[in-house]
Amino acid sequence: MLKLSAMSFIRQSRRLSSTYVRFDEFLRFRRNQAAKSMLIQVSGKDSSSDVKSYLTSNFGPLAGIYHYSVASSVKRVTRSAPSVNYHWVIAEFENKASLEEALKACRYPDNAVPFRSHMCWFSKPLMGLSKSTTPLDNSIISENLDEKKSSLNIPLPVNSTIAEQMKILQMQMKVSETSMRARFLTVHHLEQSVKALFPNACALPFGSSVSGIGSNSGDLDLVLLLEEKGIFPKSKARQKKIRLQFQRKMLTSGGAADARHQTVRTLELLGDIVRFFIPGYSQTHKILGARVPIIRFVSDFTGLHCDLCYGNSSGVFMSELIYMMGCIDNRFQPLIVTIRSWAAARNITNPVPGAQPTNFMFVMMVINFLQHKQILPTWGILFNNATKEDTRVTEDGIDCTYLRDIGELQKYFFPKNGHTTLEELLYEFFEFYANFDFAAKGISLLTGSTSDKPINTAMYIQNPLDRQLNVSRNVNINEVSRLQNEFRSALRTLEAKSSGQ
Amino acid sequence: MLKLSAMSFIRQSRRLSSTYVRFDEFLRFRRNQAAKSMLIQVSGKDSSSDVKSYLTSNFGPLAGIYHYSVASSVKRVTRSAPSVNYHWVIAEFENKASLEEALKACRYPDNAVPFRSHMCWFSKPLMGLSKSTTPLDNSIISENLDEKKSSLNIPLPVNSTIAEQMKILQMQMKVSETSMRARFLTVHHLEQSVKALFPNACALPFGSSVSGIGSNSGDLDLVLLLEEKGIFPKSKARQKKIRLQFQRKMLTSGGAADARHQTVRTLELLGDIVRFFIPGYSQTHKILGARVPIIRFVSDFTGLHCDLCYGNSSGVFMSELIYMMGCIDNRFQPLIVTIRSWAAARNITNPVPGAQPTNFMFVMMVINFLQHKQILPTWGILFNNATKEDTRVTEDGIDCTYLRDIGELQKYFFPKNGHTTLEELLYEFFEFYANFDFAAKGISLLTGSTSDKPINTAMYIQNPLDRQLNVSRNVNINEVSRLQNEFRSALRTLEAKSSGQ
Ligand SMILES: Nc1nc2c(ncn2[C@@H]2O[C@H](COP(=O)(O)OP(=O)(O)OP(=O)(O)O)[C@@H](O)[C@H]2O)c(=O)[nH]1
Ligand SMILES: Nc1nc2c(ncn2[C@@H]2O[C@H](COP(=O)(O)OP(=O)(O)OP(=O)(O)O)[C@@H](O)[C@H]2O)c(=O)[nH]1
Ligand SMILES: [Mg+2]
Ligand SMILES: [Mg+2]
């Protein structure tokens, strides 16, 4: 089943683009799922069936139930002590009302700050009652969310082609159903915690969790917006003129420095709330000096490393554009996953920010390469053919108005190279950038071409949304030459492998 | 009408104690009122009728409407510029549902953090519409909340007795209906802001706002409790055993130092929320080093100076005890109000904490004096005759279990001196403390007697709840002798006045 020929890729690709799910629909679907779900700590996998029957009989039918385990992040007493696994169940109710019932019934722990959340603990049956006789329910999906952290230890079928291996790698690496639910649940939970103050608040995941190129081990990037209308525009219903308006707080005069100050203060406050009140988060760090200030913390209940930013919706739109690339051509995702895994294995990318290339730069480079091959459209085509419904402008004035209906795209973009295999694309990618004149040329996803650099940096990749910015500004000349040497050495490896076959 | 004889005092006193309202009932009543009310800024007093008809016709009938004005706390451009008055209306709906409707309809201001509250702004009728023809509604109560700040500029009827003047002073000084509503609305609003995180949270006013001895110009002392059950115990309904329990945050190991640390951190966070998010508060100061750490801020919309503390429910119980004293004998409130006004006029008390006596010490001294007169019971009687329903223990272990039913008190306490006039009591109070041996004796409200001091301080008033504490620990020997000189000089003034009559 995993052995897919190049042709079946192409067929699948065609099928995808006719039945694709728009990014905002995908977000809505997952958010809705999270809003009907609760996260329940159990004593072990065996309890899952018990939870299922308990919830069903007390509160209402479930739409889905997912068990997972994660290693405890609590410090071990001695280094040699075994790390403990915690077990969790994500239970999605069919109806929101059942969840409300369950949360209403939920007890508060004694001697602790009584914090309401969607995160509970399921106790063993009471003494005196006969031991639970719920039969083990094998339909419950179960997963260890700590697994698959290492991308290269995957058993590949013997005699598989490189293209097949790339496809398998992508299937194995991609964010699992359970991890996807855990991510949206984490985001939802944070959103709930600020909704009392800001009832229109909206927290959204972005980055590789939702752009279609992530893995279970990827971090969870999330943004808190004070209004969701920027992302999910509402058709303005004619409403009768209301003479009441809420009082507001005037903190700033509205200048750019003030806006940054407000962002930083808001984030700090959110960080404090996460740190001191919301159960299940630890290791909070404020990284407020960065271009995009963030709060970094660990979600102990899901094992996710979270980066929270505030008010910066352009990251969500960037994720949408990357997501759309995967919908337009299904070779994009296996290609980027392979290249990211390779870059990580060769220590080219580094999770710690510095002078090394980042995963995000590789995404930009892969898209630019596929534009050059006319497999993906230039983003100029998307921007120039936007409809009125596509109008979006971020709070800080970045225009994110681009064509979102991939069906419509067929009018403006005529892809080529539909038969080029993943293996060929991988080879050509390395070749393209091994010979790239980074000293003279920059990369632009808008034109799809390589253009003259507007500024003199070792490497230039124009940020396609905030266009004065260079995504690769931190990369120095040594890293560029190391990068090109790695491309050449990858080429040699691929050549040796294909001549050996 | 204001000329009340000593006998009518006593009659009123009897009536009071048979129809008195329990403190917790009083709190419940006012909290419920606040929960059905909204605070609406209007352009002037004339708009009140307009608001009334607008709210009634759009959302439902009102139970009450109160207009007030307060001086703007916004800094004036020049010193000579006149201070601006802001106008507000407190509108209480008959039904909670109407309030919900109104808040749902309420618009968010453009270009501001969209914060939801019970505090709105009422815009003028739209252009094009004919000018509002709502007739002026004279039934709307209107008040300037900044007035009456000075206690002694009250026109007193000529030839009135001192006792009559004391009674008038108390009636004029006491917290007005509008100010009482503004206080409970402010507290309710703060409570709403933390309820998303802590759904059982309960904010309560305490101090002179609710103990029956306050004035409009008094500050608003308020406490945030994470659970209301300590104050309003619920009869435990037998509920079926629930196996779900919320996750909790483990911040502290539970030691006393940890508890204080947690209090301080929580308060800081609340202070930041007040400062950065909640509209209508300014001048936030953190006073975290005090025995009871507080956040101090100004409510711009009501002109109230607020002191917020956290988790410290003993202040509420202290207020209840003082409130009960007013119910037991109605000479208590005019006496304390007179003495507080005198002490303020003589600069004996000082709102800024220091070595001077505080208002609270005078409350303790007046109660102790009235116990000595057998007009008020010793608090020992209250503590020793508590019923099971009276059981209350604060989180930090202070026993607040005392008899709350004043009707029951008649079994244990037989008051004397029912005919002593207010004037006589005032004189005797000064006499009692002018001759008091503060060097050797301490004051205990529990025994009602003056006892030997357990520690060597200039003045000793045992805290009747937290009994190791000395309420007057800050008062030094100089202040004590100044205080006693003031008592003697007051005596001489009263003597001159009565011999002059
Ligand atoms: N404009 C800009 N956006 C960036 C940059 N780095 C990251 N981002 C945005 O932030 C998102 C999250 O960043 P990362 O977590 O580093 O990258 P990711 O795509 O999520 O990939 P992994 O987390 O490594 O799986 C990206 O998808 C981009 O939208 C950058 O240098 N410039
Ligand atoms: N134990 C103790 N409690 C105090 C002390 N001072 C104030 N309180 C409590 O805190 C409450 C509010 O304090 P204040 O605002 O200073 O006094 P108040 O009774 O409200 O009087 P005004 O605000 O002056 O009208 C009091 O009613 C007491 O319950 C003190 O020294 N010891
Ligand atoms: Mg990421
Ligand atoms: Mg006070």
Contact A117, A41 (CB under 8 A): no
Buried b / exposed e along B159-188 (16+ C-beta atoms within 10 A): eebbbbbbbbbbebbbbbebbbbbbbbbbb
Name beta bridge partners: B307. Answer: B221, B296
Contact B189, B118 (CB under 8 A): yes
Which chain B residue shows the shortest CA-CA distance from A42? B244
The alpha-carbon radius of gyration of chain A (Å, integer) is 24
Buried b / exposed e along A214-244 (16+ C-beta atoms within 10 A): bbbbbbbbbbbbbbbebbeeeeeeeeeeebb
**What is the C-alpha separation between B160 and A44, in angstroms, rounded?**
81
Q: Tell me how close the Cα of B251 comes to any Cα of chain A, in angstroms.
A: 7
**What is the C-alpha separation between A301 and A283, in angstroms, rounded?**
13
Max CA separation in chain A (angstroms)? 78
Q: What is the pLDDT of residue B445?
A: 95
Please give the sequence-ordered ranges of beta strands (E in DSSP) within A269-347, or none if there are none: 281-287, 294-299, 304-310
Q: Identify the H or E element spanning A310.
A: strand A304-310
Q: What is the pLDDT of residue B71?
A: 84
Residues 6 or more apart whose CB falls under 8 angstroms from that of B422 comprise B6, B9, B162, B163, B166, B167, B331, B334, B335, B338
Q: What is the pLDDT of residue A12?
A: 43
Other CB atoms closer than 10 Å to residue A139's CB: what's the count?
8
> For ligand 1, is residue A359 a contact (CB within 6 Å)?
yes
* Ligand 1 atom nearest to CA at A340: 24
**What is the C-alpha separation between B291 and B424, in angstroms, rounded?**
38
The tokens of B25 are what? 């009932």
**What is the C-alpha separation between A119 and B238, in angstroms, rounded?**
25
Contact A200, A227 (CB under 8 A): yes
- B102, B247, B280 member nearest A280 (Cβ): B247
Q: What is the pLDDT of residue A120?
A: 84
Q: What is the pLDDT of residue B378?
A: 97
Which residue's CA is the closest to the ligand 1 atom numbered 4? A360
**First-residue to last-residue Cα distance in chain B:** 23
* Ligand 2 atom nearest to CA at B463: 1
Max CA separation in chain B (angstroms)? 78
Which residue, among B169, B183, B226, B182, has the nearest Cα to B4 in the 3D structure?
B169
Q: What is the pLDDT of residue B130?
A: 46
**Cβ separation of B116 and A272 shorter than 8 Å?**
no
Mutate which of A149, A221, A396 for ligand 1? The one with the most ligand atoms within 8 Å of its CB, which is A221
**What is the C-alpha separation between B124 and B131, in angstroms, rounded?**
9
Which residue, among A413, A341, A333, A419, has the nearest Cα to A371 in the 3D structure?
A413
**What is the C-alpha separation between B191 and B231, in angstroms, rounded?**
15
- A115, A196, A227 member nearest B246 (Cβ): A115
B215 alpha carbon – ligand 4 mean position (Å) = 9
Q: Tell me how close the Cα of B275 comes to any Cα of chain A, in angstroms.
A: 9
- A125, A251, A279 member nearest B248 (Cβ): A279
Q: pLDDT tens digit string along B398-452?
A: 999 999 999 999 999 999 999 999 999 999 999 999 999 999 999 999 998 877 7
The tokens of A197 are what? 């103050």
Contact A311, A394 (CB under 8 A): no
* Ligand 2 atom nearest to CA at B340: 24
Residue with tokens 């190391």: A482
**What is the C-alpha separation between A124 and A132, in angstroms, rounded?**
9
Angle at B397 between CA B391 and CA B402, to 5 degrees: 30
**What is the C-alpha separation between A205 and A209, in angstroms, rounded?**
7
- A114, A247, A279 member nearest B279 (Cβ): A247
The tokens of B264 are what? 């301080």
Which chain B residue shows the shortest CA-CA distance from A127? B241
The tokens of A308 are what? 């929270």
**What is the C-alpha separation between B501 and B498, in angstroms, rounded?**
5
Protein residues within 5 Å, CB atom, of ion ligand 4 = B 207-208, 219, 221
- Pair type for strands A281-287 and A294-299: antiparallel
Q: What is the pLDDT of residue A280?
A: 86
* Ligand 2 atom nearest to CA at B351: 24
> For ligand 1, is residue A205 a contact (CB within 6 Å)?
no
Q: What is the pLDDT of residue B243?
A: 79
Which residue's CA is the closest to the ligand 2 atom numbered 13? B207
Category of A448 on φ-ψ map: left (φ > 0), alpha (ψ -120 to 50) or beta: left
Name which of A72, A104, A113 to mutate to probe chain B: the one with the most chain B Cβ atoms within 10 A of its Cβ. A113
Interface check for A77 against chain B (CB to CB < 8 A): the answer is no
The alpha-carbon radius of gyration of chain B (Å, integer) is 24
**What is the C-alpha separation between A190 and A278, in angstroms, rounded?**
8
Which residues 294-323 of B have a C-beta within 8 angstroms of A? 301
Contact A205, A184 (CB under 8 A): yes
Interface check for A2 against chain B (CB to CB < 8 A): the answer is no
Residue B268: HSE in the Cβ half-sphere, 13 Å Cα cutoff: 14
Interface check for A79 against chain B (CB to CB < 8 A): the answer is no
Q: Tell me how close the Cα of A22 comes to any Cα of chain B, in angstroms.
A: 28
**What is the C-alpha separation between A118 and A182, in angstroms, rounded?**
12
- A113, A122, A194 member nearest B249 (Cβ): A113
Which chain A residue shows the shortest CA-CA distance from B122? A244
**What is the C-alpha separation between B232 and B175, in angstroms, rounded?**
24
Q: Identify the H or E element spanning A137.
A: none
Counting as low any pLDDT under 70, the low residues of chain A are: 1-18, 73-83, 111-114, 125-136, 148-155, 196-197, 235-240, 250-257, 500-501
> For ligand 1, is residue A360 a contact (CB within 6 Å)?
yes
Which residue, among A106, A116, A101, A118, has the nearest Cα to A37 in the 3D structure?
A118
Interface check for B127 against chain A (CB to CB < 8 A): the answer is no
* Ligand 1 atom nearest to CA at A358: 16
pTM over 0.90: no
Angle at A443 between CA A317 and CA A455, to 5 degrees: 105
Interface check for B227 against chain A (CB to CB < 8 A): the answer is yes
**What is the C-alpha separation between A171 and A333, in angstroms, rounded?**
10
**Cβ separation of B114 and A276 shorter than 8 Å?**
no
Please give the sequence-ordered ranges of beta strands (E in DSSP) within A319-473, or none if there are none: 441-443, 450-452
- Pair type for strands B304-310 and B220-225: parallel
B143 alpha carbon – ligand 4 mean position (Å) = 21
**What is the C-alpha separation between A137 and A46, in angstroms, rounded?**
9
Q: Tell me how close the Cα of A182 comes to any Cα of chain B, in angstroms.
A: 16
**What is the C-alpha separation between A352 and A305, in angstroms, rounded?**
13
Please report the DSSP string for B271-332 in residue order: HHHHHHTSTTEEEEEEE-SSSS-EEEEEETTTTEEEEEEES-THHHHHHHHHHHHHHH-TTH
The tokens of A365 are what? 């480079």
Residues found in chain A: 501
A148 alpha carbon – ligand 1 mean position (Å) = 21
Other CB atoms closer than 10 Å to residue B287's CB: what's the count?
15
Q: In what order do the strands lie in the sheet with B281-287?
A: B202-206, B220-225, B304-310, B294-299, B281-287
- A108, A197, A243 member nearest B196 (Cβ): A197
Q: Tell me how close the Cα of B490 comes to any Cα of chain A, in angstroms.
A: 49
Interface check for B86 against chain A (CB to CB < 8 A): the answer is no
Judging contacts by C-beta atoms under 8 Å, the chain A residues touching residue B301 are 247
* Ligand 1 atom nearest to CA at A219: 23
Name beta bridge partners: B37. Answer: B92
Q: In what order do the strands lie in the sheet with A119-122?
A: A141-144, A62-71, A85-93, A37-42, A119-122, B244-246
Residue A477: HSE in the Cβ half-sphere, 13 Å Cα cutoff: 4
Angle at A438 between CA A433 and CA A442, to 5 degrees: 100
Q: pLDDT tens digit string along B475-493?
A: 999 999 999 999 999 999 9
Residues found in chain B: 501
A221 alpha carbon – ligand 3 mean position (Å) = 5
Q: Tell me how close the Cα of B199 comes to any Cα of chain A, in angstroms.
A: 7
**Cβ separation of A244 and B120 shorter than 8 Å?**
yes
Judging contacts by C-beta atoms under 8 Å, the chain B residues touching residue A121 are 244-247
Nearest ligand, measured from the Cα of B212: 2
Contact B461, B443 (CB under 8 A): yes
Residues 6 or more apart whose CB falls under 8 angstroms from that of A398 comprise A314, A317, A465, A466
Counting as low any pLDDT under 70, the low residues of chain B are: 1-19, 73-83, 111-114, 125-136, 148-155, 196-197, 235-240, 250-257, 500-501
- A113, A194, A245 member nearest B120 (Cβ): A245
